[in-house]
Amino acid sequence: MKLSLLCFVVSAVALQAQQTEPPSNEELARRIDLLADMVSTPAETNADSPFSVGGYGEITYWNPEQANAEVDLHRVVLYLGYQFDPIWSFRSEIELEHSKKIEVEFAQIEAQLSDSMHFRMGNLLLPLGLTNQNHEPTSFYSSRRPLLERTILPTTWHENGVGLWAQQGNLHWQAYVMNGFDAANFQLASNGLRDGRQGGSQAQAENWAFSGRLDWQIQPNMMVGVSAYQGASGQGNLSRDFGVQILSAHATANHGPWQMRGLYAQASVADAAFLPTPATSEDLRGWYTEVAYQLWSQSREQASLTPFLRVGNLDFSAGDGMPSAQSLIVTGLAWKPQSHVVFKLDVEFQDPAAGPNTQTLAFTLGWSF
């Protein structure tokens, strides 16, 4: 895009040179600066441009107690958007993961139907939990996304679909229909629902699903909400439909330097004992609560230093009568030299009901813009 626009400007300058006196060096510099602003400045800060550009990324080092240490350029993501007119727009994120795998995180057409109602269609982020739709590394304190939201609410989770969202007073709701999970890939006992995601790439579409969310902004600094998912996942390739149901509740609250949030989620997969990888239980559940305290903060656009503590529990085989739950504690420190850059250092402790305790030291450099 930049190369094409630059060629256009050069051609225009050359044509003008045949008709008038050549522009000065100062005029050429002014035109190039104008072009750079038009291409690279997000639409939110440049009302004259229909383009919006952004992105995020993270490099993470982790050192598990019982495995070798690893450092990974986990992801580099580029956001691209275009405002066709006051109603219709395009939004997308393209991810390069582990320096070798390119994926679309979402790509959608959106229309503003009224002051409060919006239409979306394309590859959509599911509206469940606290992290899936707000997954930039500057938006959460730990080095890695919460384990509950990597497994039972398997961020980053995106599928092909269509739906509506609206902001009406202090209520915000979303409702989508999209292709469902592929149960052939479930590994419930070890990885929750994560491996059933299709991501919209040549997705099996015999079974569709509904997902919805309702948030209530009680006060400017306090929000509570619920979300749900319902749909079959057999996709016509298995002996059963393997219906999946997910329910979750979440809350956030800020008071001065204190920041708190919590999440509870439960899921079930019907006939899980008959999956290609059978599970002893149809039910999964988990929760976490997190508290953080900003030791100091000059402003939201400047530096901050924030220790945090997250406590939770996760059970991939709830209700089977066997000890399967694990307790999770993550504690650490997040430093933002400014709001778009973060350095995180933390330790995660896992205490499974069956098996030895483990701990993992992790460090992340993250950015978003």
Quote the pLDDT of residue 8.
34
Does residue 44 register a pLDDT over 50? no
> Do 218 and 311 belong to one domain?
yes
d(CA 314, CA 150): 11
> Do 276 and 130 belong to one domain?
yes
d(CA 349, CA 345): 14
Does residue 264 register a pLDDT over 60? yes
Quote the pLDDT of residue 297.
73
Residue 47 φ/ψ, nearest 5 degrees: -65, -20
d(CA 153, CA 165): 20
Quote the pLDDT of residue 147.
97
For residue 27, give its domain range.
1-39
Does residue 126 register a pLDDT over 60? yes
Domain membership of residue 239 (yes or no) is: yes
> Do 147 and 63 belong to one domain?
yes
Q: What is the mean pLDDT of residues 200-217?
A: 97
> Do 24 and 58 belong to one domain?
no
Domain membership of residue 193 (yes or no) is: yes
> Do 88 and 2 belong to one domain?
no
125, with CB counted inside 10 A (0-12, 13-18, 19+), is buried
> Do 237 and 283 belong to one domain?
yes
Domain membership of residue 116 (yes or no) is: yes
Closest CA to 272 of 308, 226, 318: 318
Domain membership of residue 316 (yes or no) is: yes
Domain membership of residue 44 (yes or no) is: no
Does residue 6 register a pLDDT over 80? no
Sole residue written with tokens 């530096």: 303
Quote the pLDDT of residue 5.
34
Number of domains observed in the structure of the chain? 2
CATH of the domain at 162: 2.40.160.10
Contact call for residues 181 and 244 (beta carbons, < 8 A): yes
Q: What is the mean pLDDT of residues 84-111?
A: 96
> Do 31 and 67 belong to one domain?
no
> Do 165 and 26 belong to one domain?
no
> Do 69 and 185 belong to one domain?
yes
Which comes out higher in pLDDT, residue 329 or 324? 329
* Average pLDDT over all residues of the chain: 89
> Do 26 and 169 belong to one domain?
no
Quote the pLDDT of residue 28.
41
> Do 290 and 261 belong to one domain?
yes
Q: Residue 47's pLDDT band (boundaries 50, 70, 90)?
A: low
> Do 85 and 10 belong to one domain?
no
